[in-house]
Amino acid sequence: MKKVNVFYDKLYYGFPVILVSYYDTDGTPNVTTVSSSYTLRDMMALGFSTKGYALNRIKEVSDFVVNIADSSQIEAINFCGKNTGAECRKFDSINLTPVPSKVISAPIIEECPISIECRLTDVFESQNHYGITNILAKIKGRLVAESYLSESGRLNPNAFDEVLYIGDGGSKGFRFMK
Protein backbone atom coordinates (compact mmCIF):
# COMPACT_ATOMS: atom_id res chain seq x y z
CA MET A 1 0.00 0.00 0.00
CA LYS A 2 1.48 3.34 -1.05
CA LYS A 3 1.26 5.94 1.73
CA VAL A 4 2.08 9.63 1.86
CA ASN A 5 3.06 11.72 4.84
CA VAL A 6 0.32 14.13 5.91
CA PHE A 7 0.77 17.06 8.25
CA TYR A 8 -2.72 17.62 9.60
CA ASP A 9 -3.51 19.14 12.98
CA LYS A 10 -5.34 15.93 13.79
CA LEU A 11 -6.40 12.64 12.24
CA TYR A 12 -9.68 11.33 13.59
CA TYR A 13 -10.07 7.88 12.10
CA GLY A 14 -13.75 7.28 12.79
CA PHE A 15 -15.10 7.70 16.31
CA PRO A 16 -18.73 7.21 17.33
CA VAL A 17 -20.43 10.53 17.98
CA ILE A 18 -21.89 10.80 21.47
CA LEU A 19 -24.07 13.40 23.14
CA VAL A 20 -22.94 13.97 26.72
CA SER A 21 -25.82 15.18 28.87
CA TYR A 22 -25.66 16.61 32.38
CA TYR A 23 -27.51 18.93 34.72
CA ASP A 24 -26.24 22.45 34.79
CA THR A 25 -25.44 23.85 38.23
CA ASP A 26 -28.96 25.36 38.37
CA GLY A 27 -30.51 21.96 37.54
CA THR A 28 -31.23 22.68 33.86
CA PRO A 29 -30.41 19.80 31.47
CA ASN A 30 -27.63 20.58 29.00
CA VAL A 31 -25.66 18.62 26.42
CA THR A 32 -22.52 18.67 24.29
CA THR A 33 -21.15 16.73 21.30
CA VAL A 34 -18.07 14.54 21.85
CA SER A 35 -16.24 12.01 19.71
CA SER A 36 -13.22 11.29 21.91
CA SER A 37 -14.36 8.39 24.04
CA TYR A 38 -13.68 4.80 24.89
CA THR A 39 -14.94 2.36 27.46
CA LEU A 40 -13.26 -0.57 29.17
CA ARG A 41 -15.24 -2.78 31.58
CA ASP A 42 -17.03 -0.36 33.93
CA MET A 43 -14.82 2.61 33.05
CA MET A 44 -15.68 5.42 30.63
CA ALA A 45 -12.94 7.72 29.29
CA LEU A 46 -13.66 11.03 27.53
CA GLY A 47 -11.40 13.71 26.06
CA PHE A 48 -12.37 17.37 26.16
CA SER A 49 -11.00 20.74 25.25
CA THR A 50 -10.06 22.18 28.67
CA LYS A 51 -12.09 25.36 28.19
CA GLY A 52 -15.34 23.56 27.25
CA TYR A 53 -18.40 24.51 29.25
CA ALA A 54 -19.75 20.95 29.63
CA LEU A 55 -16.43 19.68 30.97
CA ASN A 56 -16.27 22.38 33.61
CA ARG A 57 -19.87 21.78 34.72
CA ILE A 58 -19.27 18.01 34.89
CA LYS A 59 -16.22 18.67 37.08
CA GLU A 60 -18.65 20.37 39.48
CA VAL A 61 -21.70 18.10 39.27
CA SER A 62 -19.88 14.75 38.60
CA ASP A 63 -22.76 12.86 36.98
CA PHE A 64 -23.29 12.67 33.22
CA VAL A 65 -24.73 10.39 30.57
CA VAL A 66 -22.98 9.19 27.41
CA ASN A 67 -25.75 8.93 24.82
CA ILE A 68 -24.82 7.25 21.54
CA ALA A 69 -26.30 9.33 18.72
CA ASP A 70 -27.86 7.82 15.61
CA SER A 71 -28.09 9.01 12.01
CA SER A 72 -31.40 10.82 12.57
CA GLN A 73 -29.66 13.16 15.02
CA ILE A 74 -27.18 14.95 12.72
CA GLU A 75 -28.77 18.36 13.31
CA ALA A 76 -28.47 17.98 17.09
CA ILE A 77 -24.90 16.68 16.71
CA ASN A 78 -23.93 19.78 14.73
CA PHE A 79 -25.85 22.23 16.92
CA CYS A 80 -24.43 20.86 20.18
CA GLY A 81 -20.95 20.72 18.62
CA LYS A 82 -21.03 24.35 17.48
CA ASN A 83 -22.70 26.16 20.36
CA THR A 84 -21.59 26.44 23.94
CA GLY A 85 -23.69 25.75 27.00
CA ALA A 86 -22.17 28.92 28.44
CA GLU A 87 -24.51 30.84 26.15
CA CYS A 88 -27.55 28.62 25.69
CA ARG A 89 -29.57 25.77 27.07
CA LYS A 90 -29.06 23.46 24.14
CA PHE A 91 -32.11 21.25 24.76
CA ASP A 92 -34.27 24.32 23.96
CA SER A 93 -32.93 24.28 20.39
CA ILE A 94 -32.76 20.57 19.49
CA ASN A 95 -35.51 18.06 19.04
CA LEU A 96 -34.33 15.71 21.79
CA THR A 97 -35.84 14.97 25.18
CA PRO A 98 -33.95 14.89 28.49
CA VAL A 99 -35.43 12.50 31.05
CA PRO A 100 -34.06 11.97 34.56
CA SER A 101 -31.83 8.93 35.12
CA LYS A 102 -32.99 6.62 37.87
CA VAL A 103 -29.48 5.86 39.10
CA ILE A 104 -27.52 9.11 38.83
CA SER A 105 -28.27 12.80 38.85
CA ALA A 106 -28.13 13.47 35.11
CA PRO A 107 -30.58 13.46 32.19
CA ILE A 108 -30.80 10.60 29.70
CA ILE A 109 -31.63 11.49 26.09
CA GLU A 110 -34.81 9.58 25.35
CA GLU A 111 -34.25 9.34 21.57
CA CYS A 112 -30.68 7.99 21.71
CA PRO A 113 -30.55 4.19 21.38
CA ILE A 114 -27.83 3.72 24.01
CA SER A 115 -27.36 5.71 27.22
CA ILE A 116 -24.54 5.01 29.67
CA GLU A 117 -24.87 6.56 33.12
CA CYS A 118 -21.53 7.74 34.50
CA ARG A 119 -20.03 9.30 37.62
CA LEU A 120 -16.76 11.25 37.37
CA THR A 121 -13.80 9.67 39.18
CA ASP A 122 -10.62 11.23 37.72
CA VAL A 123 -9.52 14.34 35.83
CA PHE A 124 -6.19 14.43 33.99
CA GLU A 125 -4.49 17.59 32.77
CA SER A 126 -0.86 17.61 31.66
CA GLN A 127 1.55 20.27 30.42
CA ASN A 128 2.52 17.71 27.76
CA HIS A 129 -0.96 18.09 26.24
CA TYR A 130 -1.88 21.65 27.07
CA GLY A 131 -5.55 22.50 26.49
CA ILE A 132 -6.78 18.92 26.65
CA THR A 133 -8.52 17.39 29.67
CA ASN A 134 -9.15 13.66 29.92
CA ILE A 135 -11.67 12.35 32.38
CA LEU A 136 -12.49 8.90 33.68
CA ALA A 137 -15.83 7.86 35.11
CA LYS A 138 -17.37 4.83 36.75
CA ILE A 139 -20.30 3.38 34.81
CA LYS A 140 -23.35 3.18 37.05
CA GLY A 141 -25.92 1.92 34.55
CA ARG A 142 -26.50 1.07 30.89
CA LEU A 143 -29.70 1.41 28.86
CA VAL A 144 -30.10 -0.03 25.36
CA ALA A 145 -33.04 0.27 22.96
CA GLU A 146 -34.87 -3.01 22.52
CA SER A 147 -34.40 -2.63 18.77
CA TYR A 148 -30.61 -2.97 19.28
CA LEU A 149 -30.95 -6.36 20.98
CA SER A 150 -31.03 -9.89 19.63
CA GLU A 151 -33.75 -12.31 20.68
CA SER A 152 -31.49 -13.52 23.48
CA GLY A 153 -31.10 -9.97 24.80
CA ARG A 154 -27.50 -9.46 23.62
CA LEU A 155 -26.30 -6.56 21.45
CA ASN A 156 -27.16 -6.98 17.77
CA PRO A 157 -24.34 -5.24 15.82
CA ASN A 158 -26.42 -5.26 12.62
CA ALA A 159 -29.03 -3.00 14.24
CA PHE A 160 -26.51 -0.29 15.14
CA ASP A 161 -26.99 3.06 13.40
CA GLU A 162 -24.07 5.01 14.89
CA VAL A 163 -22.50 8.06 13.32
CA LEU A 164 -18.72 7.91 12.94
CA TYR A 165 -16.77 11.16 12.97
CA ILE A 166 -13.79 11.37 10.61
CA GLY A 167 -11.73 14.54 10.44
CA ASP A 168 -8.31 16.02 9.71
CA GLY A 169 -8.65 19.46 11.25
CA GLY A 170 -9.43 21.01 7.86
CA SER A 171 -12.42 18.94 6.86
CA LYS A 172 -15.05 17.14 8.86
CA GLY A 173 -17.00 14.10 7.69
CA PHE A 174 -19.50 11.65 9.02
CA ARG A 175 -19.84 8.01 8.09
CA PHE A 176 -23.04 6.13 8.67
CA MET A 177 -23.22 2.48 9.55
CA LYS A 178 -26.48 1.94 7.72
Instruction: Tell whether residue 141 is a contact of ligand FMN (CB under 6 A).
Output: no
Q: Does 39 bind ligand FMN (CB under 6 A)?
A: no
Closer CB to ligand FMN, 9 or 151, in the complex: 9
134 part of the interface to ligand FMN, by CB under 6 A: no
Interface with ligand FMN (CB under 6 A), residue total 21
Alpha-carbon dihedral angle through residues 175, 22, 139, 62, given to the nearest 10 degrees: 130
Cα–Cα distance measured from residue 153 to residue 63, given in angstroms and rounded to the nearest whole number: 27
Among 62, 71, 84, 105, binds ligand FMN (CB under 6 A): 84
Q: Which helix (H) or strand (E) holds 77?
A: helix 74-82
Q: Distance (Å, rounded) from C-alpha 64 to C-alpha 60?
A: 11
Among residues 22, 29, 32, 135, the one that binds ligand FMN under rule CB under 6 A:
32
DSSP 96-129: --EEE-SSSSSEEETTSSEEEEEEEEEEEE-GGG
* Binding test (CB under 6 A) with ligand FMN, winner from 54, 68, 109, 112: 54
- The 10 Å CB-count burial string (b at 16+, else e) for 144-162 is beeebeeeeeeeeeebebb
Least Å distance between CB 163 and ligand FMN? 8
Binding test (CB under 6 A) with ligand FMN, winner from 25, 49, 93, 95 = 49
Question: In this chain, which stretch among 31-39, 58-66, 99-107, 151-159 interacts with ligand FMN, using CB under 6 A?
Answer: 31-39
The yes or no reply on residue 81 touching ligand FMN (CB under 6 A) is yes
Q: Does residue 115 belong to the site contacting ligand FMN (CB under 6 A)?
A: no
- CB of 119 closer than 8 Å to CB of 62: yes
